[in-house]
Amino acid sequence: MTEALSILQNTFGYEVFRPGQEDVVISLLAGRNVLAVMPTGSGKSLCFQVPALVKGGLTVVVSPLVALMEDQVSALKLAGVAAETLNSSRSYDVNVVTWKKVVAGEIKLLYISPERLMTPRMIAAIGKLPVAMIAIDEAHCISRWGPAFRPDYEELAKLRYHFPGVALAAMTATADDATQKDIADRLFGGDGDVFVSGFDRPNIRLGVALRGEWKQQLLQFIEARKGESGIVYCLSRKKTEETAIFLNTNGIRAFPYHAGMDANDRSTHQDIFMTDPGVVMVATIAFGMGIDKPDVRYVFHANLPSSMEAYYQEIGRAGRDGLPSETLMLYGLDDIRMRRMFIDQEQSGDDHKRREHKRLDQLIAFCEASTCRRQSLLSYFDEKSDACNNCDVCIDPPTLVDGASIAAQVLSAIEGTGQMFGAVHIVDVLMGANTDKIRKFNHDQLTAYGASKSFGKDQLRSIIRQLVAAGFLNLDTDGHGGISVSEKGFNLTRGKAEFNYREEVARLPAERQKRSHKTLSTGLSEADEELYNMLKVRRLALAQERDVPAYVVFTDKTLVDMAYQKPQNTAAFLDVNGVGKSKTEKFAEPFIEIISDYLGG
């Protein structure tokens, strides 16, 4: 551990290990298999990179995306680490040169995709080398219980047979108990140490809102954060394209990203997002896995994700640098129906479908929570917390209203219409509307007809959605979207259950958005903030010279500390958080020049 600490300080520029890192490092240095579940941004990569440098030999790192491998290798090289990658974006000749270096023992960390690693030829070739460790990033992809199962990852279960005695390090930010057990069983037959460092990301503000005019909700949210990097998640490829066009039309630089695009276009859009400041990526879940961009300031969900794990994983792309970041998820009744339909249409067994429906139930309950959202999210991962004062519910608690009377009217309308119509028709009946459908089926003769005029359409839609979320109503998922009364709903009509509904509005109040935006601060004084912005300009220029993302040179967190400490010589520069010897040699001079000019002025 003495050598590990020396490498941490001199190579990576950190004085001490962060909470959770040291136990993982000790276990890997002892040759144990390890599954580490750590929050995004907590330094999972260092947990295997440091032991790799201590152990010597070759560490093979399995990573899911070419762009991620390239960025991580670039960052390691700037830190003075002998790292390389073999991947499809590089020419045959470049890959040959890299492989010769690997065979010669010149490379300490080799990044490779699961597809390339698990070919018989590559397994045989690497088997001849002194492999000290194999690290698997985004390890939840190996589990069918996880939120992003990938068949190519499943092959990694064979690694323990190909490399007996070689320590396996599995790293992920997203795994509940069932997923953790599945990963450990598949990768190392249960023979390993499992470290769970907690799931809380206190710097991320959580928000959920009822979908109204969603494009205006999105635009209002992003305009309040203009100039900052963000991700907008959409359910479909078509919506992704339309949303990107809408944002660009409104003066926001945005790019689409989905699996149906040309691979070169996807790669170009991702490179722009990773390198340029203030870019918005509008994407399906095809984007984001392992994206190591620290300064994503917000994640906006235009649709309901598939599960709590998927939601946690996707919001985890915000605020990896530890600075304040925000999320907002919009959802409505159509989201719930679509998600139910997707589950029912899966080619999987009934047990798997039941589990997925239960997972969706828990996400819906999170959306409808009237208490702290962070408590609700963390409790899903069996973690307790106090009220966070950093979510929409804590900041602006909802008003709960006794809903027994209105629920009785809604359930009466649903029963009276035969439990086969969707929410739009039920609302029309309750409002006393004069539509062709109402006249055709004589629904104007029902006692529920016009019984709820005083509530208005938006309020009634919200109440129906909350009744569905609470399990009083069921949604038909065969594509028609009909609503029926559940057994729990019948208990409500018999007075054996209670229902309280939230009074809510579709849009976030402007004052709440403004208050949220003010929290996005570096914590520096106004004068030091000016220096910080000057340092960012210099960093971007240096990054562009090297064709790497800006954070690969230095993270925002490092620049904040630099602006605070104001080093004026190389010895002082080494004391900045995240600055090691190699980066001091490469970058101290241009940054010290900025600081000296600033102080001299």
Q: Return the HEC string of 192-244.
A: CEEEECCCCCCCEEECEEECCCHHHHHHHHHHCCCCCEEEEECCCHHHHHHHH
Write out the H or E segment, with its range, that includes residue 483. Answer: strand 483-485
∠ CA 169-173-178 to the nearest 5 degrees?
85
pLDDT reported for residue 346: 82
- Mean pLDDT for back-to-back runs of 10 residues, the chain (601 residues): 93 90 95 91 90 95 84 92 91 94 96 93 95 93 73 89 94 85 91 90 93 93 93 93 96 92 85 87 74 86 90 90 92 86 84 83 86 89 88 89 93 94 93 94 94 90 86 74 88 89 60 42 80 91 88 89 94 94 95 92 55
pLDDT reported for residue 368: 84
Write out the H or E segment, with its range, that includes residue 67. Answer: helix 66-78
User: How is domain 204-397 classified at the architecture level of CATH?
Assistant: 3-Layer(aba) Sandwich (3.40)
Write out the H or E segment, with its range, that includes residue 474. Answer: strand 473-475
β-strand 473-475 against 483-485: which pairing, if any?
antiparallel
Q: How far is Cα 136 from Cα 158, in angstroms, rounded to an integer?
A: 13
Q: How far is Cα 505 from Cα 228, in angstroms, rounded to an integer?
A: 26
2-30 core/surface letters (b: 16 or more CB in 10 A; e: else) = eebbebbeebbbbeebeebbbbbbbbbbe
Residue 12 per-residue DSSP state: T
How many helices and strands (H and E) does the chain possess? 29, 18
Fold of 2-196: Rossmann fold (3.40.50)
pLDDT reported for residue 400: 87
SS3 85: strand
pLDDT reported for residue 300: 97
Picking from 200, 198, 203, the residue whose alpha carbon sits closest to that of residue 23 is 198
In this structure, the number of other CB atoms found within 10 A of the CB of residue 194 comes to 17
CATH number of 400-503: 1.10.10.10
Pick the CATH number of 526-600 from 3.40.710.10, 1.10.357.10, 3.60.15.10, 1.10.150.80: 1.10.150.80
Model confidence, pTM: 0.76
∠ CA 510-516-522 to the nearest 5 degrees?
145
Write out the H or E segment, with its range, that includes residue 61. Answer: strand 58-62
Helix axes 237-249, 214-223, angle to 10 degrees: 50
Residue 84 tokens read as 């390389």
SS3 101: helix
Domain boundaries, the chain: 2-196, 204-397, 400-503, 526-600
pLDDT reported for residue 521: 57
Query: What residues contact 345, with CB distance under 8 A and at least 6 apart?
Result: none
Q: How far is Cα 315 from Cα 318, in angstroms, rounded to an integer?
A: 6
pLDDT reported for residue 335: 87
Sign of the torsion formed by the C-alpha atoms of 406, 412, 417 and 419: positive
Cα dist from 324 to 1, 69, 317, 327, whole Å? 33, 27, 13, 11
Q: How far is Cα 205 from Cα 302, in angstroms, rounded to an integer?
A: 17
pLDDT reported for residue 351: 82
Q: Specify which residues 83 forms β-bridges with.
A: 109
Indicate if 204-397 has the same CATH topology as 2-196: yes
Based on its alpha-carbon atoms, the radius of gyration of the chain, rounded to whole angstroms, reads: 27
